[in-house]
Amino acid sequence: MASINLIEAFQEFKDAENIDRPTMMKVVEDVFKTLLRKKYVSDENFDVIVNAEQGDLEIFRRRMIVEDGEVEDPLAEIAYSEAIKIEPDFEVGEELIESVDLFDFGRRAILAAKQTLASRIGDLKKNLLVQQYEGRLGEMINAEVYQVWRKEVLLLDDDGNELILPKSEQIPQDFFKKGENTRAVISRVDVKNNTPVIILSRTNPIFLEKLMEMEVPEIAEGLITIKKIVREPGERAKVAVESYDDRIDPVGACVGMKGSRIHGIVRELKNENIDVINFTTNTQLLIQRSLTPAKISYMELDNEKKRAEVYLQADQVSLAIGRRGVNIKLACELTGYNIDVYRENEETEEFDIDLVEFSDEIDMWIIDELKRVGCDTARSVLALTPEELERRTDLEKETIQDIRRILEEEFEKE
């Protein structure tokens, strides 16, 4: 009985996890039935037998034995005189089953069949990868950095699948080294040139949500619910939480004793400031909480137009707006209201920024020195001449020039 060994091809199936045996058998049968149709026009009277364990494949041909001269369909029938040449005991009316020697198809046809089989296996792997990751969207994954490029980072999961972390999905302060592990969430699955591309994200609000689930048991257990998260990656995030148990303080549980729970998340997010607030259906109270750390004096709401006019003391305006307007921008996203900030008893507040917001560019001891002489915002520093700053503080001339340059550049951006 002739057969063809396909151990290498079947090994491809074994390497492709999650491909079940029925699927494997069906694909192999389809490939070789195509080969049969090319040679015999039809595959109706052929049986393809696959032994997946040994990697063997055999093909049998079935024909009915008829009287000589009565053969109407050579594919389905064989003359009695021809049948007894194969086995003398055959009689008219019996079915003749004989093995097909695959080498009769020709070496080129067999090679083409193997290539087709390998291609079908590759397609199955791709489809399985897409299905696997489409079912895991939003899931946290820990992957190894394999290659770092200017516009993206290539990572490998535990099964060796390639994952992509684009620059646009990275926190601005992120820095990656080959061989290290990093965490991200599965954002989406793209298909480019018939190849699945798994896209990860560290900027998606879901990433922060998953980090909080890992650090705060009450969230994982469902005692605390995250109602909404808004982020400016690497800068600031606001998280509205709610507890279904009156005995649990959701904000305190999320922050932890002396910030123990939130500190780990902040480090993972490259020192991103995280404001955790109590969610409420009271719009006015929600807006007030969303503008943390600023303290509001009073506000006027227009619920139809979704607008809020918020009035604050002069020293609170810069805190409400935040550096580059991040704080008020996130407050608007969190509440769904357009928030306008005004200085109390004055029409509009000239945009200003608290000096603490520049702590990543200006040393804290310098900020403390400026505050000592009454300069606690950017505009209050720029209002004084370099000579006056040099006279009133212990700062050197070059340091004062650098400070003014940093502050002026910030207002130019705005």
pLDDT value, residue 4: 47
What pLDDT sits at residue 349? 47
Domain, as residue range, for 322 = 206-338
- For residues 212 and 297, membership in a common domain is answered with yes
* Shared domain check, 328 and 276: yes
Task: State residue 242's pLDDT score.
Answer: 94
| Domain-located, residue 24 | yes
The answer to whether residue 7 scores a pLDDT higher than 50 is: no
Does 348 reside within a domain? Answer: no
Model pLDDT, residue 226: 95
* 163: nearest Cα among 201, 128, 205: 201
Over residues 178-231, the pLDDT tens digits come to 999 999 999 999 888 778 899 999 999 999 999 999 999 999 999 999 999 999
Which of 87, 117, 132 lies at the terminal end of a domain, its last residue? 132
In the predicted structure, residue 9 carries a pLDDT above the cut 60 = no
Looking at the fold, whether 253 and 319 belong to one and the same domain comes out as: yes
Residue 99 sits in the same domain as residue 121: yes
Shared domain for 126 and 211, answered yes or no, is no
Predicted local confidence at residue 191, as pLDDT:
81
Tell me the mean pLDDT in the region 10-15.
Answer: 51
Among residues of the chain, what percentage have pLDDT more than 90?
37
**Residues 95-116: what's their mean pLDDT?**
73
Same domain, 315 and 367: no
CA distance between the termini of the chain: 83
Cβ neighbour number for residue 30 with a 10 Å cutoff:
14
Give pLDDT, residue 99. Answer: 76
Give the confidence band of 87 by pLDDT, cuts at 50, 70, 90: confident
**75 and 127 inside one domain:** yes
Residue 128's Cβ-count burial label (10 Å; 0-12, 13-18, 19+) is middle
The CATH number covering residue 107 comes to 3.30.1480.10
Q: Given this model, what pLDDT does residue 1 score?
A: 35
Q: Examine residue 344 and state whether it is found in any structural domain, yes or no.
A: no
pLDDT mean over 123-150: 87
pLDDT tens digit string along 289-335? 999 889 888 888 898 999 999 999 888 888 899 888 999 999 999 99
Task: Decide if 170 is inside a domain.
Answer: yes
Within a domain: residue 347?
A: no
| 145 domain residue, yes or no | yes
CATH number of the domain to which 324 belongs: 3.30.300.20
Instruction: Assess contact for 366 and 403: CB atoms under 8 A.
Output: yes
Strands 56-66 vs 95-99: parallel, antiparallel or unpaired: antiparallel
Residues 146 and 164 occupy one common structural domain: yes
Q: Give me the number of domains the chain comprises.
A: 4
Question: Are 18 and 127 within one domain?
Answer: yes
Please report which confidence band the pLDDT of residue 279 belongs to, taking 50, 70 and 90 as the band edges: very high
238, β-bridge pairs: 230, 275
- Give 382-394 pLDDT, tens digit per residue: 888 888 888 888 8
For residue 22, is pLDDT > 70? no
Does residue 349 lie within any of the structural domains?
no
Would you say 358 and 407 are in contact if contact means Cβ atoms under 8 Å apart?
yes
- Model confidence at 414, pLDDT cuts 50, 70, 90, reads low
Over 60: is that where the pLDDT of 72 sits?
yes
Among 86, 116, 132, the domain-final residue is 132
Give the alpha-carbon dihedral of 17, 22, 24, 29, to 10 degrees. 180
pLDDT in tens, 333-376: 999 999 999 887 654 445 678 888 888 888 889 988 888 888 88
Structure tokens at 221: 């257990």
Final residue belonging to a domain, choices 311, 338, 365? 338
Same domain, 324 and 288: yes
* pLDDT tier at 49, thresholds 50, 70, 90: confident
Q: Are residues 41 and 121 in the same domain?
A: yes
Whether pLDDT at 54 is above 60: no
Averaged confidence pLDDT in the chain: 84
- Dihedral angle sign, alpha carbons of residues 397, 399, 402, 406: negative
105 and 172 co-located in one domain: no
**pLDDT at residue 2 is higher than 50:** no
What percent of the chain lies above the pLDDT cut of 70? 89
Within a domain: 343:
no
CATH number for the domain spanning 183: value is 2.40.50.140
